[in-house]
């Protein structure tokens, strides 16, 4: 799995799977972002409260675009290929070029849960990380209780590596955060 050309941030990459298109977030997505990140179920396991206004959705849009602008990661909007419906977002963030690792994350709207979309998106991002970013390691942090995300990571080959006790504070309560990691060598061995 040799890296032919490391991603250079000249153009935002569009990725496609069998059922999904992962693309740049657009100003026209702001209403979908409000609906998505305004849903308490979507934000229940992330460090955020549900958003309530278009201004807050625009802040999310700027935050997501900021990874690309800073050249330290990417955040894609996830849409269905057949009808263009916005169903979530996914990203590779905090790209450390010296140690060759990045953090990964995927969020899918509740009507599309348990249909394999998160796994499909995650596999595509992992492949992009190996092939285009030259990563050696991909990390994910999962809040205790988010069993669905843990299962998706494990399906793709991630291993639980540790627990950060009471790492997240949300709504006045502390939550443990599980750290997951996937090494390029593990991924290659798994594919063989």
Band of the pLDDT at 2, cuts 50, 70, 90? low
Per residue in 10-22, pLDDT (tens digit) is 999 999 999 999 9
pLDDT of residue 50: 84
Per residue in 74-87, pLDDT (tens digit) is 999 999 999 999 99
Long-range contacts of 185-188 (CB under 8 A, 24+ apart): 186/157, 186/159, 187/1, 187/126, 187/130, 187/157, 188/1
1 in a structural domain? no
9 in a structural domain? no
pLDDT of residue 3: 53
Number of domains the chain is built from: 1
144 in a structural domain? yes
The enclosing H or E element of 20 equals strand 20-24
Per residue in 94-141, pLDDT (tens digit) is 999 999 999 999 999 999 999 999 999 999 999 999 999 999 999 999
> Which residue range is the domain that position 28 belongs to?
15-191
88 in a structural domain? yes
Q: What is the mean pLDDT of the chain?
A: 92
Query: CATH number for the domain including 118?
Result: 3.40.630.30
Band of the pLDDT at 67, cuts 50, 70, 90? very high
Q: What's the pTM value of the predicted model, to 2 decimals?
A: 0.91
């Amino acid at each position: 799995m040799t890296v032919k050309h490391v991603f250079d941030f000249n153009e935002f990459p569009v990725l496609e799977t069998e059922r999904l298109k992962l693309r740049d977030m657009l100003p026209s997505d702001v209403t979908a972002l409000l609906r998505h990140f305004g849903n308490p179920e979507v934000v229940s396991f992330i460090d955020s409260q549900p958003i309530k206004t278009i201004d807050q959705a625009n802040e999310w849009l700027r935050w997501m675009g900021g990874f690309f602008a800073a050249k330290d990661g990417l955040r894609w909007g996830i849409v269905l290929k057949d009808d263009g419906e916005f169903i979530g977002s996914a990203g590779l963030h905090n790209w450390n070029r010296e140690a060759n690792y990045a953090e990964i994350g995927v969020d899918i709207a509740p009507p599309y849960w348990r249909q394999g979309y998160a796994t499909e998106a995650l596999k595509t991002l992992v492949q992009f990380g190996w092939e285009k970013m030259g990563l050696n390691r991909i990390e994910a942090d999962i809040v205790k209780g988010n069993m669905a995300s843990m299962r998706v990571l494990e399906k793709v080959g991630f291993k639980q590596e540790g627990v950060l006790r009471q790492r997240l504070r949300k709504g006045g309560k502390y939550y443990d955060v599980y750290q997951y990691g996937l090494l390029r060598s593990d991924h290659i061995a798994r594919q063989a």
